[in-house]
Amino acid sequence: MAKDLRKQEALDYHSKGRPGKIEVVPTKEAKTQRDLSLAYSPGVAEPCLEIAANPEDVYKYTAKGNLVGVISNGTAVLGLGNIGPEAGKPVMEGKGVLFKIFADIDVFDIEINETDPEKFVQIVQALEPTFGGINLEDIKAPECFYIEQELKKRCKIPIMHDDQHGTAIISAAALLNALIIQKKKIEKVRFVVSGAGAAAMACIQLYESLGAKHSNFMVFDRKGILYKGRPDVEALKMKFCVDEKYADYDLAKAMKDADVFIGLSTGNVVSAEMVKSMAKNPIVFAMANPDSEINYDVAVAARKDIIMATGRSDFPNQVNNVLGFPYIFRGALDVRATAINEAMKLAAVKALAELAKAPVPDMVNLAYNEKTIIFGPQYIIPKPLDPRLLSTVAPAVARAAMESGVAKYPIIDWEAYIETLNSRLGLDNQLSRVIGSKARNDPKRVVFADAENIKILKVAQLVMEENVAYPILLGKEEKIRRLAEENGIDLEGMPIMNPKDDKHEDLRKLYGDQFLKKAPQGC
């Protein structure tokens, strides 16, 4: 029943009112005939002519500079696999929502019905005049590698396949901090990696950029360890193969005395015994969703000296891509970068790692229902609702773009830039997300008086759907149920009480007396 309810809630969320999750909103007045003449014909000819004379003016007169294309062919959606471009569209719309609420970046989601890598590249390349940057999403390996590489060669705007680099950037920041706490050096630790897809390969390559030794990795795909001479290893995985003498290693054997486990595969492939066999002060990043390679509680019970991260929000140290892509693109767009390069990714890694070491604002403590969040084994990466992310990661990325020579519009006044970033989303936006998160973490019972009013019922339903409180409805049950049925409101989980029922007389007297005792004198 609960599963069916969640399914229906998700379907209702996406279908009620205006279908989907996004819309286009004009940024200029369009009410009068003069407005319309300026917005379209004949006034629109003037910026067109300016851009024709100087193509860079497209950033001055259009939304290109703040517009990212979230582009997919639906061949590797979330954990759903190759479900096609139409079925992947809700995910791409969702990605657009995250771009907007976390970094004030506008998005057009584009789902392309093409699986041929070269044709896909040609289509996306042809869209370059529209966008300031392109976020490739949910494209299966190995095609995703070719597509991203070719688009980077052919386009002069930032391109990033977030499925690869997002996880790599966030987990790399977490890894740097975990190594500090565990007193280990990245060039000396031995890694075991479960999973050999796009994200795993990107993680390994980024860790190596930070100093990890190539020879210290053992990588497993669903068929076993990658080793030289294994006949079924794809060409792209060959560089991750170990010597043939390790051909008989399984995951359990590889994890003995390993320092770090990186999981980007499937749930429940690691046992408590495997974790117990790891080296002193182990680091385990079990990032499969929805089920981790090993359950958090099982892993921390097996080793008291462990630092653990997952892809889940209900445990500490969530490796969440939303910590990266909005701010990376924000920084790239703001300097009109022609690419997202290695220097910019490393800058994001280091900015995230440093932010986790800084004192946490009360607003973040409030959002996560904590008294004091401090740097340590259970806090090695920032929380997604930390309002400092935008003004920390975006400037680091922008600066790296400038220093690496890919910025066409360098920032001169950094204080003014950071002030602009802080004003983009506004304090009210940040507070509303924080308050909503806190309410969902600890929902209270809330009495809705006059529940015979349809407006009150709708609010109660919204509160229930948002999981911010448990509504209790006051009024005549028969009337409330009739109103709910007529308006398609689900009352399940909302108790109804009629204060005028004789059976509540004792309660009325009790509550009345208590209220009078608490009321200020003279009321």
Catalytic residue among 64, 95, 184, 383: 95
Q: Which residues contact 38 (CB under 8 A, 6 or more apart)?
A: 28, 44
Q: Which residue has the tokens 């009024």?
A: 475
DSSP 192: E
Tokens of 171: 């987990």
3-state secondary structure of 401: helix
Torsion of CA 336, 337, 339, 344, to 10 degrees: -140
Q: Which amino acid is at 373?
A: I
- Calpha distance 163→138 (Å, rounded): 7
* 3 state SS of 308: strand
CA distance linking residue 222 with residue 218, whole number of Å: 14
Backbone torsions φ then ψ of 206, nearest 5 degrees: -70, -40
Tokens of 127: 């869209």
Catalytic residue check, 368:
no
Residue 479: Cβ within 10 Å count = 13
Q: How far apart, in whole angstroms, are the C-alpha atoms of residue 239 and residue 218?
A: 11
Residues written for the chain = 523
Beta strand 159-161 with 133-136 is parallel
Q: CA separation (Å) from 301 to 297, 304, 305, 317, 373?
A: 6, 7, 10, 17, 22
Active site residue 409: no
Q: Which residues sit opposite 106 in a β-bridge?
A: 67
Cα distance between residue 379 and residue 513, in whole Å: 47
Give bridge partners of residue 72 from the DSSP assignment.
Answer: 111
Q: Which has the closest alpha carbon to 248: 275, 229, 273, 267? A: 229
Nearest one of 111, 87, 109 to 100, comparing CA atoms: 109
The strand pair at 224-225 and 217-221 is best described as antiparallel
- Name the one residue in this structure whose structure tokens are 């309002």: 387
**Residue 471, preceding peptide bond in cis (omega within 30° of 0):** no
- DSSP string of 215-248? GGEEEEETTEE-BTT-TT--GGGGGG-B-GGGTT
Burial 394-419 (b: 16+ CB within 10 A, else e): bbbbbbbbbebebbeeebeeeeebbe
Q: Of 13, 40, 61, 511, which is the active-site residue?
A: 40
Residues designated catalytic? 40, 95
